[in-house]
Structure 1
Amino acid sequence: MSVFRLPNAMPETSTGRLPDGTRVFESGKTTVNDPLGSCGLRRKRMQRWLAVLVLLGALGALSACSGDSRTGLEADAVGGAGEEKVYGGSARGLNYSSDAIYSYYVTGPRGMNGGGGNMSPASKEGPSEPGEMCCIGIPQPWKANTQLHIEWERDRKPFDYKDRSGLAVLTATVTVPEYAAKTSGFWAIFLPGDRVKVMVADGNANGQNDLNVRPADDDPFIVQGIRDDALTQKALQRFQQ
């Protein structure tokens, strides 16, 4: 903080008084009227400067407070307070049905686009599982009512290379259950009767994403698939080539 210093006073010599009682001082070669006297004048000037300094200090304090508050808000916005982030994750699946699942693909908001596939029919030991596929976006934080479009290609006669009547492409709109901050990939779970559920694995932190237990039939996140004839015809053409 800079310190204000008054200039050194020059030697003053009283030369007498005017008829109205005003004392007259001679400072160097300049004659100055000083109704309050030299001491009073200096005291008056000092009071004015002190008032100015107090006012400047108050304004500076207000400016600093408002500046700190504004800076804090800007930092939150720039730094991402509440900002959504999308992380890359694997896309996998579980097949509890007796159908072969050749592939599946999901599209949706917030970067949730990706897929996997090549799941053989389920066995007595449990559901089949494909290799890990990369990648799909997993946004944080989770948001309620995040819906995805899923389409998958299934074959009820995967070992009959002449009869492709069991081949169909199915579609559905699925809702992503709540997941926690720490996740381990996206999963599509296929159930008998062309039903499907999707989830983001998180160690079952919220009780809805247990990969070790087959979803119950009354699970609210299970959706019935609908056959898409146009996509099915395209899939059949691929086998005919």
Structure 2
Amino acid sequence: MSYLKGYAVYQWLAGCLLLLLTGCSLGESKFLAGDLGGVNHTSAGINYFSVNGYGGPNISPYGSRGGMCCAMLPRHWQPGLKLKVEWETDPDPYARLKRKPSGYGPDEVAYVKHKANYQQHSVIVDLPPYEDRLCALEVHFLPCNQVKVSTSCWAYPSPNSPIKEPLEMKEPAVCPK
């Protein structure tokens, strides 16, 4: 008898939870969520980046990372939508830092000196069109601190990706204004 009573209480609680969750999803959300990832086409390391405040992963030189959850975008795309992309670069990500005399961990003075070379960047870019579905927001870091963004379901380096730049790009002697 107590087993049936406990099971009935469990079913009742599960039903209440289901009703609460259903109640929260009534009506259409104003936003879509998608993974946030990046592709680094440069020799600098990307220590971190964000898009409209949503944090992305660090990315090694000439590398890519994805799967960070989540970037939120308006459910319905409209012309004129912008994104603010902020990032920090390490121009010498493979620098060998001097070790502490104990041999464990980097020397703090060497680390502070290395970290002084980090560079912060920020740019406003157009949000490319997308349907009422968002697979991912993919940010491409190009030479001269240029950024391109894709909302395509085709991730780089797929031939169907809208971003066609090669992965290993060299920094020009003079960057365009």
TM-score (norm 2): 0.59
Aligned-partner SS, 1:193: helix
Aligned-partner SS, 1:158: coil
Q: Is structure 2 residue 138 aligned with structure 1 residue 198? A: no
Segments of 5+ residues of structure 2 without an aligned counterpart are 1-25, 98-109, 167-174
Alignment match, 1:98: 43
What amino acid sits opposite 1:210 in the alignment?
A: S
Alignment match, 1:135: 70
Q: Give the direction of change, closer, same or farther, for the CA distance of 1:152–1:179 in structure 2 (3 Å limit).
A: same
Alignment match, 1:219: none
Aligned-partner SS, 1:120: coil
Alignment match, 2:61: 121
Alignment match, 2:124: 173
Which entry has the higher C-alpha Rg, 1 or 2? 1
TM-superposed deviation, 1:198: 1.9
Q: 1:81-117 CA distances to partner (integer Å, 9 max, x unpaired)?
A: xx7731221111111111100111121xxxxx41212
TM-superposed deviation, 1:159: 1.8
Q: Give the direction of change, closer, same or farther, for the CA distance of 1:210–1:186 in structure 2 (3 Å limit).
A: same
What percent of counterpart residues are identical?
30
Would the aligned equivalents of 1:99 and 1:120 in 2 still touch at CA under 8 Å? yes
Partner of residue 156 from structure 1, selected from 84, 91, 96:
91
TM-superposed deviation, 1:214: 2.0
What amino acid sits opposite 1:137 in the alignment?
A: M
How far apart, in 1, do the equivalents of 2:57 and 2:39 lie? 9
Corresponding pairs, count: 122
Q: 1:122-163 CA distances to partner (integer Å, 9 max, x unpaired)?
A: 1xxxxx112411111132211111112211011111122433
Q: Is structure 2 residue 32 aligned with structure 1 residue 87? A: yes
Alignment match, 2:169: none
What amino acid sits opposite 1:106 in the alignment?
A: V
How far apart, in 1, do the equivalents of 2:39 and 2:126 lie? 17
TM-superposed deviation, 1:187: 1.2
What amino acid sits opposite 2:124 in the alignment?
A: T
What amino acid sits opposite 1:103 in the alignment?
A: Y
Q: 1:178-220 CA distances to partner (integer Å, 9 max, x unpaired)?
A: 122333111111011211112222449xxxx8256228xxxxx
Alignment match, 2:79: 144
